Chains A and B, each alone.
Chain A
Amino acid sequence: MKKHIYDRLVRSGRLRRRDMLKGMGATGALAAFSGVATGTSVRPAWAAAHGALRAEILGIPGVGAGSPTDADWQQVGELCLGPTKEIVAEGEFAGVELTFMGLNNQNLHNFLFRGFLKPWEAYTGATINWIDLAQADYNARLQQSIATGTVDFDIIEMGAPFEGDVLGRGMASEMPDWVKDVIDMDDYVDYLKAPVGTWDGKTYRVSIDGDTHTFAYRKDYYENEEFAEAWAASGGEGAWEQPKTWEQVNAHSKFLIGKTDPLTGLDAHGYLDPLKGWGGFGFYFLENRATPYAKHPDDPAWLFDPETMAPRVNNPGFVQAIQDVLDLIDAGAYPADQINADPGTTAFQQFLAGTGGMLNWWGDVGSSARTSDTSVVGDVVGFDINPGSEKVWNSQTGEWEMTPNVSPNNAYIGWGVYVMATVDGDAQKKKAAWSAAAHLGGKDLSLWASAYPSGFQPYRNSHFQYDEWEAAGYDRAFVEDYLSSNADSYNHPNAAVEPRIPGIFQYYSVAEDELAKGFAGQYGSAQEIADAIAAAWENITDQIGRENQIALYKASLGM
């Protein structure tokens, strides 16, 4: 519940606090609410210890101590139980069984949740069964559940792009007001606030992650004297420094062909495009290149025409992006076997392992660079928002505008925890499910998750307090660089936000297949590749229902 609504209700005398708390069954909740009423977002019962708590959990296991393990997750979960203890009495959910469906991403996601919720289970008495899905199986499993009506889970970890599929069908449980206050939704970064997480004006989502692609580059490449001299000698345009536009990225990538990597002594490479699909997720990486060309500041739409759902993927903006990749393939700018490199490969086997100079990825590659066992490049990585372009395509006029444009790609909009409507009939179960969700979306727990390998990125304004990160052992310059690249993308006025329409991953998946063929040289030109994608997209739209898609697309754009 928003504070101003609450205030108005209290003032008008239509609602007394005690009435509002009826049925919640926990006296601690009163204290939680009084915090809201007095205008602070800090819960008073443990406010004093709060700052110390945040510092304490950030010290588990400590930056530079390798990847955290199960014991660390449980410890963090235990320390962050404060808000739960305010609202839930010990043993209150004894006998309640919940099923949680989420990802098992390389022993992250669900594995962390297990650890985080273990102390919660011990305290509340509830038990949780787990459904772990591989990332690649996730969409398929969700769609099958929806289509066959087998909703065998009570809580789901889900990305916002699927909201059209799930919330649109009324399969989720609306968030109770007490949860909104526990998780402090005002603290979310702007683009995660409504309409994300809502459907028809109702709120459903506990955000646990914010997503945007940012640009990571190797600082040692740009501090390298030899490269700088060679760049000047080769007649390269501009100074040898971090590229700000895709034009520069491409020029630098071509320049780096045949050079030697200063860190590893192997071949140097420029920007790492993943040329292989990744269950739909690979298309985001072409979007990174395309958004500056194709996302016009005056037009919220960029993937489809909002009036007709006609794909824009074959407009000159996207074609330019495809052409850029084709040019780099022809020039031989990629590592060998790049055609078989999916985004997981480019980020973790290549970039973090010291191959390649530039990369787009979700922000967690930044914390992984420092704390993951896989990384060797921690000290030499710099971050920024996605590169821009020197021109932008205007779909309204059908012309190129020769003005610089920047448009960060807020790909995937982050993971959230949703409670399914299956719990609605049982008040105790419902409270238990939402309590678990709120625990995972807690303000402090999420700080820890954004600082350590978890699969999640910073997504609250309170995550961007550089002092906390510095105290935890991060290098100040590194963390400012990394966190501000995320914050700037989230809050960018021309950020490209993905449509939350049904079947969005089908569009991505078929696009990936066609792109893979195109990159393997099976089409004559970039335009032909783009046209093939557009034709496939038209088919999908017709299959799912064009009118419906138009309406949902407009809604997701806030039109």
Chain B
Amino acid sequence: MDILTFMQQMINGISLGSMYALIAIGYTLVYGVLRLINFAHGDIMMVGAFAAYVAHASGVPFELSVVLAIIVAMITGILTDKIAYKPLRDAPKISLLITAIGISFFLENLFNVLFGGIPRAFSAPDYLTRSIHFEGIIIPMTVIIIPTVTLVLLFVMLWILNKTKYGMAIRSLAFDIPTVKLMGINADFIIMLVFAMGSALAAIGGIFYAISYPSIDPLMGVIVGLKAFAAAVLGGIGSVAGAVIGGFILGFTEIVVVAFMPELGGYKDAFAFIFLILVLLFKPTGIMGQDLERSRF
């Protein structure tokens, strides 16, 4: 293993980690506010990727179809909350989780019926897919663009959460919903905002995924969603910065282990699960997390 290969793998790891991070933020936000594992989140990423694909295939310029995809994903996210989660706010948690898995399965099968289960090629403009050669390392443009966009979005998210009124409302909802309502804050609007932000990031993550592995299929969100959730738990669920750190750790591990021990390549998808088990065993609050069970009371 020479230094060039090593650099190459590092670059790939950053890119993969960014995608996990973008999706993990959505999980962590919703879990922080509602204590709900939003199983449909991975599928909203899939909806975003398909929306971009359909828009681009029907002649809309790529940049505009990305914007359209983000809007479609936001609407899908808000609708799932309004239709499926909001009526169950006071119900036992198991009802909410069952509905979430129902929505997830519904979206997967709906897109399966609409588009068929065969993967479709995802075409992106040349400036995103070409590679530059630098000192013997091949750097695809995606691995520069994806981490940059992720970091910018992370800072935007942290700014919204820590510096704006809405961010303050989101953070306070994580502690105590009834009291927040008594303070005159429209809790349902804030929750809607959380779903909209998470879904927008998921759509961006989905489009990045579609560009990097240039194909999309209705089940693409399942494994990625699972890994992103593991990343969110690893970073400390409820913490946005933690989700990003967790995403990067997971992305690096996958790339590095497969690069250095190719015989483990078949087990690539299992690392996220092993991380999840280890975190739950040794540090259930994750790297950045606080004890959310206690903070409710």
B is a partner of A: no
Binding site for A on B (CB under 8 A): none
